């Protein structure tokens, strides 16, 4: 069966749909596990990678990686009496990195690790990938179906308020706008693509028109 990627607007029901669909199909549900893989490759903590991917594409640290040559950090790893080995940009750009990052992560390292890990997952069977630009990385793979879950703003606000009744409508809407902005900027920064471009997806589903359960049953019927 094909690899499935799911991109979702915040509070559209995408996470619920993805989990239920993976369970019905017997697929591996991969979300935070991808973060764990990046952390293991870069030798930083799981939480640091998580914090980085949420915020880094909109802060200074990520942009510095486009200015500062990473050879500086590699040279710091060498002892004073070790022989200097010249490393070109092309060598450094290979995936996986040929040098030990020793707990360092920046936007270039993160981007390449995500591409490597998701590309490898795209060659496997029975895998469902949530977020992480899977629809961009695997867009040309023949055995991949890219799905987008959307919903009307009013329904998304209602969904948040059901889970968090203490929030006002304006607070819920602000949360939605902030989370969508981060997702949009993530895709733009790392892949130079438009998160909402329908051409990135094979299927776009509006949960304002179709319930979560019907979406899961419909998709399961297609892929089973």
The pLDDT of residue 82: 43
The pLDDT of residue 38: 76
Structural domain including 103 reads 3-223
**Statement: the pTM of the whole predicted model exceeds 0.95:** no
Say which residue, 112 or 46, is predicted with more confidence: 112
Band the pLDDT of 184: cuts 50, 70, 90. Answer: very high
CATH code for position 144: 3.40.50.300
**Rounded CA separation 105/108 (Å):** 8
The pLDDT of residue 63: 43
Torsion sign across C-alpha atoms 137, 139, 142, 143 = positive
DSSP codes of every residue in 20-71: HHHHHHT-EEESHHHHHHHHHHHTS-HHHHHHHHHHGGGSHHHHHTTTS-TH
Q: Quote the mean pLDDT of the chain.
A: 80
Average pLDDT for residues 170-183, to the nearest whole number? 93
The H or E element containing residue 189 is: helix 169-191
Beta bridge partners of 5: 129, 146
The pLDDT of residue 132: 86
Beta-carbon contacts of residue 100 (< 8 Å; ≥ 6 apart): 43, 77
Percent with pLDDT over 90 in the chain: 50
| Cα end-to-end span (Å), the chain | 8
Looking at the structure of the chain, the number of domains it has is: 1
pLDDT in tens, 85-143: 443 334 333 344 333 445 677 778 788 888 888 998 888 889 999 988 999 999 999 99
Average pLDDT for residues 190-216, to the nearest whole number? 95
């Amino acid at each position: 069966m094909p690899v499935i990627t799911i991109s979702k607007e915040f509070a559209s029901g995408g996470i619920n749909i993805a989990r239920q669909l993976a369970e019905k199909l017997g697929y591996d549900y991969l979300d935070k596990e991808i973060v764990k893989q990046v952390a293991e490759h870069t030798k930083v903590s799981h939480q640091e990678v998580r914090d980085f991917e949420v915020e880094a594409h909109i802060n200074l640290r990520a942009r510095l990686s486009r200015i500062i040559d990473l050879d500086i950090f590699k040279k710091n790893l060498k002892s004073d009496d070790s022989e200097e080995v010249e490393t070109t940009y092309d060598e450094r750009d290979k995936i996986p990195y040929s040098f030990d990052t020793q707990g360092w992560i920046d936007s270039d390292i993160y981007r390449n690790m995500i591409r490597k890990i998701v590309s490898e997952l795209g060659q496997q069977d029975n895998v469902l990938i949530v977020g992480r630009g899977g629809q961009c990385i695997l867009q040309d793979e023949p055995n991949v179906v890219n799905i987008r879950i959307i919903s009307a703003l009013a329904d998304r606000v209602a969904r948040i308020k059901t889970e968090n009744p203490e929030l006002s409508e304006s607070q819920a809407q602000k949360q939605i706008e902030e989370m969508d902005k981060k997702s949009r900027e993530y895709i733009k920064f790392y892949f130079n693509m438009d998160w909402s471009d329908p051409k990135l997806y094979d299927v776009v589903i509006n949960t304002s028109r179709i319930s979560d359960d019907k979406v899961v049953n419909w998709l399961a019927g297609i892929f089973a």
